[in-house]
């Protein structure tokens, strides 16, 4: 089994020196060849890279060429005369000038209600293909502008046709785009076209492109030499092998389609069932059987990008002599293990604790880095596009401002959570207790959170049980604890889009329940889920990002109020977190 996989890997590495159109053997289906420098990236076969880790800026005509027309359009509010100025520029022999003029001509024709002429202008713009206009390909700008016009005039059937062409072009890797720009236009096409779940081809293409972006980012930082790696995007595994120098990267990426046709059959070799497992114990390729004799071969021993796990499906014959020798060997190992165990127990336990803390801290740093990097990437991309005038319409600019505001709030919440946790652990957090109306407090916070949840497609249902006595609490701190529970309910419920909140009296205490139908938490994990940096295995397997401090923060705040948090959960059926707080007795 290992030999077959090693030979397949060697065959893939033979393409590291591949040169297109050189007459040599073409790479098999489902395989991408990536070649990159610090200045650009190319992929073969063409169209396999949906979005590029880096896009070189191409020269465009100086803004002064369009200044007279834009002065008439924006300063004098005369789109009719502006359209005539831009119409003359469409006759320029310079493709860049023609592209910029056609975009502006269509925009002004739309303003004066000459929509058919505007669509013809956008059609001419689309034929200029990759010619850059405001930093994006002319065809992409043309389809985006035409779609916006058709949407604004209620021409639904034509809009769907235009959106279908845009969707097809984006998923065929026709244009060289950065990931934020690609994702923005994919969502726009999906909104117009109403596209359903991703097809298998689209999942494979996205997995390869995502792996290429990850590998390029690793090479830019580390400049690694020859290496191998396997990773998963969702449920799609990708195998990567590469050869990097200080100024050049050559890589071969094998996607799910190739692995399903080559590696998966090799891992199911008759009476032996095999799987490739990463360093964290996640199954990358194949499947793990719990029954039967099992064997492991490490990545260091096989040269494969993971640990090879093999399980014998059948018992197989075994001689009496071999069984006797095995028993003697096992007995010897048992005696040796018992001898060593007595002296090394406390050392091993101490090392285990240190390693667990180190692993949790490493996962926390990685998660926080991702939580910071994702909004910062969006902020940088949109800020650059806005500052350079690359977003032509007011609708698109407003959407960009909304995204900037949302991502800034997300960063602020993350920083404040980290600071609050530090203050609480240092016992420097100051609570400001006041008398609160429990019903009004919970209703107000849920109403505020509903707006955030609705933007992600979630519904929050609230149920209040009668009038309650006053609650002595810190409004901001208790609100932070409840928001963390609501955030978790949304974050870890990828399938069910409903979250339920209930508030009522339970004995002499106020009970606030947050219930979801998400991933759920297993029994053993429930005992330690409130510890700092601890996250459930289900969230890690689903590749759901998080910092592991939300429940710790909520638990500390509730305890400072003299209360407690209770958890009821079952894997696959969701979780219910209950905050129990003491109520003041009525006089």
Question: What b/e string do you get for 382-398 counting C-beta neighbours within 10 Å, with b at 16 or more?
Answer: beebeeeebbbeeebee
Q: What does the block give as tokens for 558? A: 């509730």
**Hey, CA dihedral for 351, 352, 355, 360, is it positive or negative?**
negative
Residue 316 neighbours by CB distance under 10 Å: 9
The pLDDT of residue 318:
45
Residue 109 to residue 116: CA distance in whole angstroms: 9
573 Cβ contact list (under 8 Å, min separation 6):
517, 520
Same topology between domain 63-175 and domain 434-582? no
The pLDDT of residue 311:
77
User: Cα angle at 158 between 155 and 162, to 5 degrees?
Assistant: 130
Residue 170 to residue 47: CA distance in whole angstroms: 10
Shortest CA distance to 289 belongs to which of 311, 264, 261, 319? Answer: 311
Using an 8 Å Cβ cutoff, are 189 and 167 in contact?
yes
The pLDDT of residue 95:
94
- In CATH, what is the architecture of 434-582? 2-Layer Sandwich (3.30)
Q: What does the block give as tokens for 240? A: 């990567």
Using an 8 Å Cβ cutoff, are 409 and 403 in contact?
no
Element (H, E) at 471: strand 471-473
DSSP of 333-369? HHHHHHHHHHHHHHHHHHHHHHHHHHHHHHHHHHHHH
Helix 438-455 to helix 475-491 angle, to the nearest 10 degrees? Answer: 40
Fold classification of 63-175 (topology level) = 1.25.40
Beta strand 574-582 with 564-570: parallel, antiparallel or unpaired? antiparallel
Residue 164 neighbours by CB distance under 10 Å: 15
Kindly give the confidence (pLDDT) of every residue in the chain, 587 residues in length, as a single tens digit, with 9 standing for 90 and above.
Answer: 677 777 778 888 888 887 776 666 788 888 999 999 877 898 988 889 999 988 887 889 998 999 999 999 899 999 999 999 999 999 999 999 999 999 999 999 999 999 999 999 999 999 999 999 988 999 999 999 999 999 999 999 999 999 999 999 999 999 999 999 999 999 999 999 877 788 888 888 999 999 999 888 888 888 777 888 888 877 788 888 889 888 899 999 998 888 877 877 667 766 677 778 877 777 777 777 776 677 788 877 777 877 887 777 655 444 445 566 777 888 888 888 887 887 676 676 666 666 655 554 555 555 555 455 566 676 677 677 777 777 778 777 787 777 777 667 666 666 665 666 666 666 667 888 999 999 999 999 999 999 888 888 999 999 998 778 889 999 988 988 899 899 888 888 888 999 999 999 988 899 999 999 988 888 888 888 888 767 767 666 666 666 667 788 888 889 988 999 999 999 989 999 999 999 876 54
pTM exceeding the 0.75 threshold for the entire prediction: no
The pLDDT of residue 148:
93
| Residue ranges covered by each domain of the chain | 2-55+202-312, 63-175, 434-582
């Amino acid at each position: 089994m290992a030999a077959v996989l090693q030979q397949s890997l060697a065959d893939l590495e033979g393409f590291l020196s591949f040169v297109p159109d050189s007459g040599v053997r073409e790479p098999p289906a489902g395989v991408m060849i990536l070649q990159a420098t610090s200045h650009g990236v190319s992929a073969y076969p063409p169209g396999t890279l949906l979005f590029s880790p880096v896009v070189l800026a191409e020269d465009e005509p100086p803004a002064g060429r369009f200044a007279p027309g834009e002065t008439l359009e924006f300063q004098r509010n005369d789109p009719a005369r502006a359209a005539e100025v831009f119409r003359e520029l469409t006759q320029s022999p310079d493709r860049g000038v023609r592209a910029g003029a056609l975009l502006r001509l269509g925009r002004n024709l739309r303003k004066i209600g000459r929509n058919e002429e505007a669509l013809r202008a956008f059609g001419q713009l689309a034929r200029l293909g990759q010619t850059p206009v405001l930093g994006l390909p002319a065809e992409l700008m043309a389809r985006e502008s035409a779609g916006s016009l058709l949407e604004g005039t209620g021409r639904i059937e034509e809009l769907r046709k235009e959106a279908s062409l845009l969707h097809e072009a984006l998923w065929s890797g026709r244009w060289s785009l950065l990931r934020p720009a690609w994702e923005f236009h994919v969502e726009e096409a999906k909104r117009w076209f109403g596209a359903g779940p991703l097809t298998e081809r689209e999942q494979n293409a996205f997995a390869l492109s995502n792996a290429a972006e990850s590998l390029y980012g690793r090479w830019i930082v580390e400049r690694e030499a020859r290496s191998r790696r396997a990773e998963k995007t969702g449920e799609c595994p990708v195998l990567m092998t590469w050869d990097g120098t200080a100024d050049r990267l050559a890589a071969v990426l094998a996607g799910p389609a190739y692995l399903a046709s080559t590696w998966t059959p090799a891992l199911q070799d008759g009476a032996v069932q095999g799987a490739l497992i990463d360093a964290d114990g996640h199954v990358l390729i194949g499947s793990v059987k719990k029954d039967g004799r099992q064997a492991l071969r490490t990545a260091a021993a096989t040269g494969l990008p993971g640990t090879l796990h093999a399980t014998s499906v059948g018992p197989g014959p075994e001689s009496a002599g071999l069984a006797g020798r095995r028993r003697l060997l096992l007995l010897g190992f048992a005696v040796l293990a018992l001898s060593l165990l007595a002296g090394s127990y406390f050392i091993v336990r101490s090392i285990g604790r240190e390693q667990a803390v180190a692993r949790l801290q490493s996962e926390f740093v990685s998660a926080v880095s991702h939580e910071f990097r994702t909004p910062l990437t969006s902020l940088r991309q949109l800020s650059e596009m806005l500052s350079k005038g690359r977003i032509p319409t007011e609708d698109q600019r407003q959407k960009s401002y909304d995204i900037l505001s949302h991502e800034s709030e997300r960063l602020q919440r993350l920083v404040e959570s980290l600071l609050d946790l530090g203050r609480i652990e240092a016992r420097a957090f100051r609570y400001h207790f006041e008398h609160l109306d429990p019903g009004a407090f919970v209703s107000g916070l849920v109403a505020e959170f509903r707006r955030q949840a609705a933007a992600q497609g979630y519904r929050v249902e609230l149920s209040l049980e009668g009038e309650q006595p006053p609650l002595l609490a810190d409004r901001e701190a208790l609100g932070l604890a409840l928001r963390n529970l609501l955030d978790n309910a949304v974050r870890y419920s990828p399938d069910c889009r409903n979250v339920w909140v209930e508030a009522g009296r339970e004995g002499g205490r106020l009970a606030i329940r947050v219930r979801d139908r998400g991933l759920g938490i297993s029994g053993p994990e429930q005992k330690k889920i409130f510890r700092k940096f601890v996250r459930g295995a289900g969230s890690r397997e689903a590749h759901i990002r998080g910092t592991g401090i939300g429940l710790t923060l909520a638990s500390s705040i509730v305890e400072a109020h003299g209360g407690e948090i209770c958890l009821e959960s079952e894997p696959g059926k969701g979780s219910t977190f209950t905050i129990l707080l003491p109520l003041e007795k009525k006089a």
